[in-house]
Structures are given as C-alpha cells and as structure tokens.
C-alpha cells in the first residue's frame, strides 16, 4: 500500500465512525511512572464487516536510552462472525505510527490553507518524520521548520531529511510559528508548547501528541482563538487531548467542536478562506486501527 492509499483508508475510517457505522468503546489506559510510560487499549468493529480488532500500543519514553524504540504494541484481528482469531500483527507500534501519520495528512488535506509557505514540525521523533513523508501526498511545499527540546536530535532530523526537504531548525516554537502556516505537533508534552499569540492568521495546526488527560501541546487560549476546531472523536475529546484541557480551563464548550468524519462529508464545515485559523485535535480512534489491520490482513491473504 502506498501513502495515498493509506490516507484514503483513514478517510473511510473517520466517515464510518461519524456516520454511526462503528462501535468503539472507551479507551483502556495504563499510566506508568517508573520508568515513565503508558499503554493504550483500543478496540471495536464496523457494523456489517467481517472482523473486529483489539489494539494494544505503548510508549515508554526512556527506551531510546537503552537502545529500544519508544513505541511498542500489537493488533489482534478476530472474525466478527465466529470470534475466531484471524491474525496477530506484532508490529511494535509501526501500524499505529503509520495510521497516525496518514490521519495527519488527511487533516491537512481538508484544512491546510491553499498556499502553504512552510511546514512546521514540533518534535523530532518517528511521528515527526512520518508526518512529513505523508504530507508529501498533500502539498508540494518542501520548506520545513523543526523544533525539538534536544538540539542534537533536531540536527539529526535535519541531516536525515535534507535530501527531500529544505529543513531549518527553530530555537523557539515562536520562531517556528512565525515562519509556518501548517504546523504539526508530535510530542508527549504536558505543558503547552504553542501559545495563541504565536500563530499567524490562516494557520492550520494538527495536534496529535496529546492523547491522554495529562498531555498538552497547545495553550488553551489557542483553541479558543481558532475559527475551526475539529476532533477525531467528540466523545473521546471529553476525557483526553487538547480539547479536554481547554474545556477544563473553561475556554471552549462542546458546541464549538466538529467531528472530522462529519466535516469531511460537509463542505460547509470546512475552511472558507486562508485567513481562518484551524485546529484538528487527533487523539487516535480505534476505527483507524480496524481499517489498517484489515488492510494488512487483506493484502497478506491476496499474496498467498
């Protein structure tokens, strides 16, 4: 499967979810402190389909210090007709990373301004890199500004990607925001990295690092300032992500939210001009895992 096909899978995933065709229970979650880490359990099925999926994914952020990737996990696929196990996809978090990157590109497809002058990437890890690779399907812009807490990692990011992109390193997130009108945040930050005052008119932001109740990459006032505020799941946004934190701060109400799958189907809810500020808050929904697990399984069956 190429990148464009995976973006199309994510589009079908979100439209199925928002049209009531998917059954997605609340996320299961374990939070660890020594060492710092988390594990998420996401599961569900699409009505009338052949399978259901259970995904377990973890992030242990000190793993690179001992030579291991921070992401781990697997997806389990079962028959929706009999309950029989069909596949164990021991992907070590790869499929989660890929479906997240494809969802980020999908958000940019519908909400980025027509003329993107530069792409801003906050974070330097696997997801930061994948976001750029998938954005190549959406925009011809190759000018990139990157910010990371660790300057060595930012330099490595630049070195690794400068054959494909014109990469600049920002010393401050405010500097990055002053140069970019498409920004993607990919960190596990627990304190805001982007403030409302940094953001240029017309900027689109896809926020995907904040997928628990304690994480936050965007100042709550930034969500209040946004002309368009979209989430992947309205129910899920009540307990995690940027929207959850902004609601806690009393700066937005549920009435301001639109769900991605609904917005895709209704052009009236999409960007109307290149002066609007838009934010898409992606916390990750099991319907994405269902789609990508089935895509892998079907590709395997077709090959044997």
Catalytic residue among 21, 42, 55, 163: 55
For the four alpha carbons of 114, 120, 126 and 127, in that order, the dihedral sign comes to negative
Contact (CB, 8 A) for 210 and 245: yes
The structure tokens 């319907």 sit at 287
Q: How far apart are the first and last CA of the chain?
A: 16
CA triplet 188, 193, 196: central angle to 5 degrees?
A: 135
- Counts of helices then strands in the chain (DSSP H, E): 10, 14
d(CA 131, CA 118): 14
* Residue 39 · residue 57 · CB < 8 Å: yes
Whether 55 sits among the annotated catalytic residues: the reply is: yes
Instruction: Indicate the burial class of 304 (C-beta count within 10 angstroms; 0-12, 13-18, 19 or more).
Output: exposed
User: DSSP character for 50?
Assistant: S
Instruction: Yes or no: say if 185 and 193 are a contact pair by the CB < 8 Å rule.
Output: yes
**C-beta pairs of 17-22 under 8 Å, 24+ apart in sequence:** 17/232, 17/233, 17/259, 17/261, 17/285, 17/287, 18/259, 18/260, 18/261, 18/262, 18/264, 18/265, 19/261, 19/265, 21/46, 21/47, 21/48, 22/46, 22/47, 22/286, 22/287, 22/290
What are the residue numbers of the active site?
55
């Amino acid at each position: 499967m190429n990148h464009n096909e995976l973006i199309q899978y994510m589009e079908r995933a979100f439209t199925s979810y928002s049209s009531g065709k998917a059954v997605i229970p609340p996320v299961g979650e374990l939070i660890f402190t020594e060492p710092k880490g988390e594990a998420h359990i996401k599961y569900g099925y699409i009505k009338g389909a052949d399978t259901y999926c259970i995904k377990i994914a973890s992030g242990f952020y000190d793993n690179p210090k001992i030579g291991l990737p921070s992401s781990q996990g697997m997806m389990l696929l079962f028959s929706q007709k009999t309950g029989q196990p069909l596949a164990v996809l021991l992907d070590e978090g790869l499929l989660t990373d890929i479906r997240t990157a494809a969802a980020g590109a999908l958000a940019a497809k519908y909400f980025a301004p027509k003329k993107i002058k530069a792409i801003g990437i906050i974070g330097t890890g696997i997801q930061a890199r994948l976001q750029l690779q998938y954005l190549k399907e959406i925009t011809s812009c190759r000018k990139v500004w990157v910010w990371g807490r660790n300057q060595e990692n930012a330099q490595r990011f630049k070195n690794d990607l400068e054959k494909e992109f014109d990469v600049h390193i920002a010393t401050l997130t405010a500097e990055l925001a002053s140069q970019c009108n498409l920004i993607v945040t990919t960190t596990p930050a627990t304190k805001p990295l982007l403030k409302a005052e940094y953001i240029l008119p017309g900027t689109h932001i896809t926020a995907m690092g904040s997928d628990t109740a304690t994480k936050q990459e965007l100042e709550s006032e930034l969500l209040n300032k946004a002309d368009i505020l979209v989430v992947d799941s309205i129910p899920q946004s009540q307990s995690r992500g940027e929207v959850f934190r902004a609601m806690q701060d009393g700066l937005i109400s549920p009435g301001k939210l639109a769900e991605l799958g609904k917005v895709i189907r209704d052009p009236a809810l999409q960007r109307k001009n290149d002066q609007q500020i838009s934010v898409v808050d992606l916390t990750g929904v099991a319907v994405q895992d269902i789609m990508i697990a089935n895509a892998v399984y079907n590709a395997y069956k077709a090959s044997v």
